Chains A and B, each alone.
Chain A
Amino acid sequence: MSANSGGSTTGRGEEIGLWAGCVAQVRRELKIARRRGGDLVNPLMFLALVVVLFPLGISPEPDLLASVAPGLLWVAALLAMLLSLDGLFRGDHEDGSLEQMLLSPLPLPVLCLAKVVVHWLLTGLPLALCAPLLGVLLALPGAGYLALMLSLALGTATLSLIGAIGAALTVGLPRGGVLLSLLVLPLYIPVLIFGAGAVKAAIEGGMAGPALALLGALLALALAAAPFAIAGGLRISVNG
């Protein structure tokens, strides 16, 4: 180690803006997810397995499956999102990174939002993209595929945001997982209703538009309010 007796630092301390801070946050999250690997694949595998269970448990009858497919795919995707939430802040809490975020001069809600965006990119978006494949397994009628993808893409973003509030509140608890589902699932119900409703409407020849618009409204509301609740929850969990 060098004896730096002058007391000066090597860094020049040029300040960076909020945008650069967010970019650093997003890049960090992507790197961590890439090295862990499983985070990206596990929710997809979970979704696929749950979807396979239903024809085995109910009946392989295509008409029957087609009628329950929208709701079933949505419920399975919602549970897959839920499972991926518990780890959202846990690692950062344990290694002290969360404390660094809390003491950053950059606004915490924005840093949280950056984290949630990455969570959605790595779970919600892949679910939305892969859901059509599983729709085939469930004999989902052709008219429903576009609505399924759009509703999942919009809806899972809201699920990420709401779920992050629950994850932030329970991150300090030793057995947060089950409790997290208890807190978050009731709040997920509107997204489920509108999401599955959009797909159903598209299949029945109606308009998926209104339901998708409502999903968009939910997302807008969640985007505006949830980051503050997440930040508040994290402050409580870290500082007590």
Chain B
Amino acid sequence: MWTFVHKLGSPKWSYAICGRLQPFFWVAALILLPIGTVWSLAISPPDYQMGDSYRIIYVHVPSAILAQSVFVAMALASAVFLIWKIKVADMAASVMAPFGAAMTALGLFSGSLWGVPTWGTWWTWDARLTSMLIQLFLYIGVIALRGAFGRGDQGAKAVAVLTLVGVVNIPIIKYSVVWWNTLHQPATFSLTERPAMPASMWMPLLVMVLGFYALFIALTLYRLRNELIRRESRARWVQALAD
């Protein structure tokens, strides 16, 4: 176990293992996403209530799931960084943040697009959309704090603490927003809390979710390799790589 943790901590080894794993996830993403897209847009049946407009959930749901998963992944990486002082974990957290923010923004955008045919407005203070908006601010806070410190150990630690504080707060925020929502609005029908979907509808959704995950992992590995090279540019193994 310990040698494994230590190996993970070695930038050179991480670089190699990222390179080895990367192709699998790229291939998975490139297979799953087109299949999911075609399946969900063309093959699955239209909804009896919402017609074709419901199809936006095939983007909205995966991006919403990723928005949360990425933050949890960042928090795990931050904890590893703070406890074992493994720099690679911090680099991983730092390359994940923009992707997570992008997914949150995509979730918000698709949610508001969906609002037009359903609620007749671009924005409604639906519990899910509201907590997503707050999530976006959490991402922006993490990215801004890293930006304010610049590159360096101090900023990395500060961002890790903030990420952990954020991840503790996410369930509290979600709960409070749901509480607030029931206080102010009669339950409208929401994007995802719907009666059981037939398999012909949720199967493509599952494919899309898996595709998004594959894309996330592939991109993270790819960007982590770049980050490793940039931060370790003076190390011998990087010099050797360049030659």
Binding site for B on A (CB under 8 A): 165, 169-170, 172-173, 175-176, 179, 182-183, 185-187, 189-190, 193-194, 197, 200, 214, 218, 221, 225, 229, 232-233, 236-237, 240
Contact = CB atoms under 8 A, between A and B. Distances in A.
B161 A232 contact: yes
Contacts of A169: 145, 158, 161-162
Contacts of B162: 169, 183
Q: Is the interface of B mostly helix, strand, loop or mixed?
A: helix
Nearest to A172: B154
Interface-centre pick from B134, B148, B149, B168 (highest chain A CB count, 10 A): B148
Contact of B176 (A182, A189, A233): A189
B48 to A, nearest CB: 36
Given A187-B165, A189-B176, A236-B157, A173 B149 contact: yes
A233 B158 contact: yes
B153 interface: yes
B180 interface: yes
A229 to B, nearest CB: 6
Contacts of A200: 183
Interface of B: 134, 137-138, 140-141, 144-145, 148-149, 152-154, 157-158, 161-162, 164-166, 168-169, 172-173, 175-177, 179-180, 183
A237 B158 CA distance: 8
Given A186-B137, A193-B176, A194-B176, A229 B183 contact: no
Sort A-B residue pairs by CB-CB distance and give the 7 closest, nearest first. Answer: A190-B176, A240-B154, A186-B137, A193-B176, A236-B157, A193-B180, A183-B141
Contacts of B177: 189, 193
8 contacts: A170-B145, A179-B144, A183-B162, A186-B137, A190-B169, A197-B180, A221-B172, A233-B161
A236 B180 contact: no
Given A186-B137, A197-B183, A179 B161 contact: no
Given A179-B148, A197-B179, A197-B183, A189 B134 contact: yes
A185 to B, nearest CB: 7
Contact of A187 (B166, B179, B183): B166
Nearest to A200: B183
A170 B145 CA distance: 8
Contacts of A189: 134, 173, 176-177
A200 B179 CA distance: 13
B173 A182 contact: no
Contacts of B152: 240
B169 A187 contact: yes
Interface-centre pick from B166, B175, B177, B183 (highest chain A CB count, 10 A): B183
A154 to B, nearest CB: 14
B87 to A, nearest CB: 14
A176 B141 CA distance: 12
A232 B83 CA distance: 12
A182 B166 contact: no
A132 B179 CA distance: 26
Contacts of B137: 182, 185-186
